[in-house]
């Protein structure tokens, strides 16, 4: 159950909240189960905060400090967490569907059972993220800018993508045209290296041409 006092301070805005947190350094704040849907929490100091089961759907948490926060079972669907510090955070069972985690620090975060479907992870740091599975990554939106993925997860996620891209290119009409032209140039270079052909023979002449 969220603390009424903590909710009251947070309701007065991030600036006052951060000042209060600095004054009470080391005291954890209790926001468990709080309804913070759509809240503007940009740059908020939520280190060590108890946010388990809280509803932060579509909240603006850009640049928020959430190190070691407890967010197990929290609702973060559609939330903007770009650039947020989520190092060592507990996100077990949390819903991060369609959340923006671009450039977020998720190093050592506990992602056990977290929903990452549609979550944007471009540029995020997943170094030593715990309980992160291939199935979770397959549902997320990410690219090769993601940092800290283990080699087996990287090969699984991006190896297939590279192979499909390569296969698609080789089947493209423009690629075939370029390849045919390259083969033609190589054939002409071989013919030129043989020197002029004997006028009495057809050797060295392009198919269909006769010596004069």
- How many angstroms separate the Cα of 205 from the Cα of each of 72, 185, 201, 212? 77, 15, 9, 11
Give residues with Cβ within 8 angstroms of 160, minimum separation 6.
none
Domains of the chain: which residue ranges? 1-149
Q: Look at the domain 1-149 and name its fold.
A: Pectate Lyase C-like (2.160.20)
Structure tokens at 55: 């509803």
- pLDDT of amino acid 203: 47
Question: Cα-flanking dihedrals φ and ψ of residue 186, to 5°?
Answer: -65, -40
Of the candidates 1, 14, 55, 47, which has an alpha carbon nearest to the alpha carbon of residue 28?
A: 47
Q: Which contacts qualify for 167-174: CB closer than 8 Å, 24 or more apart?
A: none
Kindly report the pTM of this predicted structure: 0.73
Structure tokens at 197: 């052909």
Contact of 201 with 207, CB cutoff 8 Å: no
- pLDDT of amino acid 181: 66
Q: How far apart are CA 17 and CA 33, in angstroms?
A: 18
End-to-end CA distance of the chain: 99
**Burial letters for 106-142: b for 16+ Cβ neighbours within 10 Å, e otherwise?**
bbbbbbbebbbbebbbbbbbbeebeebeeebbeebeb
With tokens 């190589």, the residue in question is 186
**Residue 196 DSSP symbol:** S
Query: pLDDT averaged over consecutive 10-residue blocks of the chain (212 residues)?
Result: 92 96 86 97 97 98 97 98 98 98 98 98 96 94 90 59 46 56 73 62 47 46
């Amino acid at each position: 159950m969220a603390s009424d006092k903590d909710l009251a301070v947070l309701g007065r805005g991030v600036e006052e909240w951060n000042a209060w947190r600095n004054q009470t350094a080391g005291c954890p704040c209790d926001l468990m189960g709080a309804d913070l849907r759509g809240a503007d929490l940009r740059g908020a100091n939520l280190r060590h905060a108890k946010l388990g089961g809280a509803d932060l759907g579509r909240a603006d948490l850009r640049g928020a400090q959430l190190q070691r926060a407890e967010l197990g079972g929290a609702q973060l669907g559609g939330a903007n967490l770009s650039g947020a510090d989520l190092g060592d955070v507990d996100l077990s069972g949390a819903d991060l569907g369609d959340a923006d985690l671009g450039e977020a620090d998720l190093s050592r975060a506990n992602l056990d059972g977290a929903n990452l479907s549609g979550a944007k992870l471009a540029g995020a740091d997943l170094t030593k993220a715990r309980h992160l599975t291939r199935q979770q990554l397959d549902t997320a939106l990410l690219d090769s800018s993601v940092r800290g993925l283990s080699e087996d997860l990287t090969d699984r996620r991006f190896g297939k993508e590279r192979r499909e891209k390569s296969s698609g290119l080789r089947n493209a009409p423009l690629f075939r045209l370029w390849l045919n032209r390259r083969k033609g140039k190589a054939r002409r270079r071989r013919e030129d290296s043989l020197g002029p052909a004997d006028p009495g023979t057809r050797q060295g002449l392009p198919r269909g041409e006769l010596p004069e």
